[in-house]
A = this chain, B = another copy of it.
Amino acid sequence: MFVRTNTDPLPRPNSLHDFGMRSDSNPIICLNEFTYKKGTEVYGEKEPADYVYQIKSGAVRSYKLLSDGRRQIGAFHLAGDIFGLENGSEHRFTAEAIVDTTVRLIKRQSLELVAESDAMVARNLLSMTTINLQHAEDHMLLLGRKTSLERVAAFLLEMDKRLTASEVMALPMSRRDIADYLGLTLETVSRAISHLHDLGVLGFIGNTQRQIVLLDRQELASLDLQH
């Protein structure tokens, strides 16, 4: 049986409470909500990192650009995810809303103050950074050594795991976003998905191509070579 050992999650803080604090008992913590329209920037690379974000609904992409426009998306952030947490004072990615997205805001400064005295909060900050690190480590293997089909299969399995909405998987991101996440072109991604469709591994729902149902996770997992 297939076991995805290296992505087994650590105990994962997935709400503000998991920082070890309650908003009502910590008036220092500023907890506002904000909504970003599709395509708008949440923050830019090298901007001061004053806030940490948790997605209430929607989806966000974090990316770096080369000077000639080549883009590498480092991560997608979905409902429940916390992002924008930096240790330095600046953001190291640009973050954009993929669709209309509502987030909760936490002032970074107040988080750091609490972490100073509360070991549990400090441990959770470390734990979240570690989760990001693990994801980046696995993604390096994908980008450096996997074929286009293996990358797309890995992507679909990752999204299947994280978008546990229902039977069908409603991808918020475009083929271009997927391509820039996987280090491919959008055409190559499209061809790989078509190929998987022909193999009977997945099917489409409706007349948009972003609603995907995985028909054979076993087969998909065998296409994404593991370590």
Contact surface of A with B, Cβ cutoff 8 Å: 5-6, 10, 45-46, 64-68, 70-72, 74, 86-88, 92-93, 115-117, 119, 122-123, 125-127, 129-130, 132-134, 136-137, 139-141, 143-146, 180, 182-183, 225-227
Closest 9 A-B residue pairs measured CB to CB?
A144-B183, A87-B130, A136-B136, A143-B143, A72-B144, A70-B145, A72-B141, A133-B133, A143-B144
Are A130 and B88 in contact (CB-based, < 8 A)? yes
Q: Which residues of B contact A46 (CB under 8 A)?
A: 5-6
> How many copies are assembled?
2
Given contacts A122-B123, A140-B140, 19 further A-B contacts (CB under 8 A): A6-B45, A6-B46, A64-B141, A66-B146, A66-B226, A67-B227, A70-B145, A71-B145, A86-B130, A87-B130, A92-B134, A92-B137, A115-B122, A119-B122, A122-B126, A126-B126, A126-B129, A136-B136, A139-B140
Are B119 and A66 in contact (CB-based, < 8 A)? no
User: With A and B bound together, what is the CA distance between A227 and B46 in angstroms?
Assistant: 11
Q: Which residues of B contact A74 (CB under 8 A)?
A: 137, 140-141
User: With A and B bound together, what is the CA distance between A182 and B132 in angstroms?
Assistant: 21
Are A87 and B226 in contact (CB-based, < 8 A)? no
Chain B residue nearest to A86 in the complex (CB): B130
Q: 25 interchain pairs (CB within 8 A)? A: A5-B46, A6-B92, A45-B227, A66-B145, A66-B227, A67-B227, A68-B225, A70-B146, A70-B225, A71-B145, A72-B141, A72-B145, A87-B127, A92-B137, A93-B137, A115-B122, A117-B119, A122-B122, A125-B126, A126-B126, A129-B133, A133-B133, A136-B136, A136-B137, A143-B183
